[in-house]
Structure 1
C-alpha cells in the first residue's frame, strides 16, 4: 500500500505524463469514444508486431478469403472439370482455408471487443477512462495505454449511434499522430503477446458476459503508462478527480463508486513470419 508521499509523487508524475488533445466540439459522444479506442487498439497491435497489417486491412483480407472460399466451392461443385484443374483448385482451397483459420480467432475476438465497447458506452456514455494493457498479463505489462475522455458539456443525445464520421476520423488520426510522436511501437517483440482492455465504470455496472469487476486492479508500478486526454473546446473545468485515477494500482485513490472492469475478450497476437524460409 503506497504511503502519502508516494501518492503525492504519483499524482504529480501522472499529471506531467498527460498529453492533451483538444477537439473542436462541445462534447464527446459515444461514436468518438468507440472509434478512437478501436483505432488505438489496432495501432498498438500493428506497431508491436502482433498483426501483419493495420487492423482495417486485416479485416478486409479476412473478408476476401471468405469470399474466395465460397467461390472456390462453387467452382469445384461443377461436374465438368479436368482432373488437373480440380487439383489446382483444391490446392488453392486448402490455402484459403488455412488463411481463414489463421485469422479466425483474432477476428472473432476483435468483433467481441467491439460489441463489448458498444454495449458499455451505450449503457454508460460518460465513461472517462479506458486502458489497453500490452504484455503477458495485466499486472505485469510491457506497456500501458490510458485514454481519458473529458466530456465537456452534457449534450449527449439519447441515440447511441456508432457510425463512423468525418469528425471521428479526424480525431482518430490526431490521436495516432500523438502516439507516433511519443515513440509508440519503437520496440519490437519476438512472438505473440496479449492485449487486455479495461474500463472504469460505476460499481453498479453489470455486464458479466463481457466485463469482470477488478476493484483492486493494479499493474507493476515500474511500468510508465502512455497517457492521452481528449478535451473539448472551451473547457475550463478542472478534472482533479481524473488525476487521482492516473495509476490503477492506487486503489486508495479510487472512488468507491467507480472501479475497473476487465474485458473478458483478450486479443492474442498472431505468430508472424520473420523470414521467407520460416
Structure 2
C-alpha cells in the first residue's frame, strides 16, 4: 500500500491499495463498501459503536426480547407473580433499547439492500463515493474508492459470507483511510450520508435509483481517495502475450469512461 498525489484534482490524499486477488465476487465488493461505510459513520460520530458491534447488539436485543416474551408466558401459567414483574421490567428495558436503535438499523438495512441490488444489477462497478453533509452538491466530507482491473465473478452481492479476500481488502482500505486522516476533522450531531456508485449506462433500476450522467460537488471540499488495484494490472503490462481486447469484457477498469453514470 502506497500513497501518491492524485493527478488533475486536489484531494487530501490518494492512496493505492494493492491486492494479490485477480478477481472479486460481487459479494466481496458489497462487504468492502459496507465496511468502509460503517467505518466512516463511526469516525464521524453518526453511530455509537462500530457497525459490526451495532448489528450484533441489535440482533441480541431482538433475540432476548423473544425469549422474555416466551418466558413471561410460562411464568403466567405457573402463577409466579414476582418473577413475572421482574421479567416485565426487563422486557420493557429491552423493548426501549430496541426502539432507540430501530430507526437507525432500519435505515442501514434499507441502504445495504439497495447497495446489493445495485451491485447485482450493474455489469461493472468502477467506483463508489461516500458523501457526508447537508446536500449532494455541498457535502462536508467526501470519500472515493476506485476499483481497477478486477475480474467480476457472477455471484450475488446478497451472499452474507465474507470471504478472506474481502476481509484483507477491507482492512487495507480502513488503514488507508486512517493514514489519510479520515475522521480527524468532524463535528457532533446528525448529518446525511449519500452513497453514489459509478457504473455503466446498462444499469437500470429506475424505481429505486436516480441515475446522474454527471456529478460534481463543491470544489472547496477535498476528498480522500483510494484506488484498489489487483496484481493482474501490473502483470499484464509485462506479459507479451497479454491482449487487452481479449480481456476487455471482464475487467472492471476497461469500461468506457464516457459510458458511465452515477
TM-score (norm 1): 0.76
Q: Deviations over 1:96-132 (max 9, x none)?
A: 1111111112222222222222222222242101111
Match of 2:43 in 1: 47
SS of aligned partner of 1:96: helix
Q: Deviations over 1:17-44 (max 9, x none)?
A: 4211011022333232111100000000
Instruction: Check 1:90–1:231 CA distance in 2 against 1; reply closer, same or farther (3 A cut).
Output: same
Shift of 1:208: 2.9
Match of 2:116 in 1: 118
Q: 1:128·1:151 contact (CA, 8 Å) conserved in 2?
A: no
Match of 2:29 in 1: 33
Shift of 1:151: 2.3
Q: Deviations over 1:205-230 (max 9, x none)?
A: 22134321233432111101111010
Shift of 1:164: 1.0
Shift of 1:233: 0.7
Gaps (5+ residues) in structure 2? 1-5, 238-251
Cα separation, 2, equivalents of 1:114 and 1:22: 26
Q: 2:147·2:229 contact (CA, 8 Å) conserved in 1?
A: yes
Shift of 1:142: 1.1
Match of 1:139 in 2: 137
Match of 2:18 in 1: 22
SS of aligned partner of 1:231: strand
Give RMSD over aligned pairs: 2.5
Match of 2:208 in 1: 210
Cα separation, 1, equivalents of 2:214 and 2:170: 31
Q: Does 1:165 pair with 2:133?
A: no
Cα separation, 2, equivalents of 1:16 and 1:50: 22
Cα separation, 1, equivalents of 2:12 and 2:84: 64
- Could you tell me which of 180, 189, 192 is aligned with 2:190? 192
Matches within 5 A, 1:250-269: 255=258, 257-260=259-262
Instruction: Check 1:55–1:86 CA distance in 2 against 1; reply closer, same or farther (3 A cut).
Output: same
After superposing the two structures, state which structure 1 stretch, 136-145 or 27-36, moved more: 27-36
- Could you tell me which of 63, 70, 87 is aligned with 2:66? 70
Instruction: Check 1:56–1:115 CA distance in 2 against 1; reply closer, same or farther (3 A cut).
Output: same
The count of aligned residue pairs is 235
Q: 1:28·1:149 contact (CA, 8 Å) conserved in 2?
A: no
Cα separation, 1, equivalents of 2:133 and 2:12: 24
TM-score (norm 2): 0.80
Q: 1:28·1:232 contact (CA, 8 Å) conserved in 2?
A: no
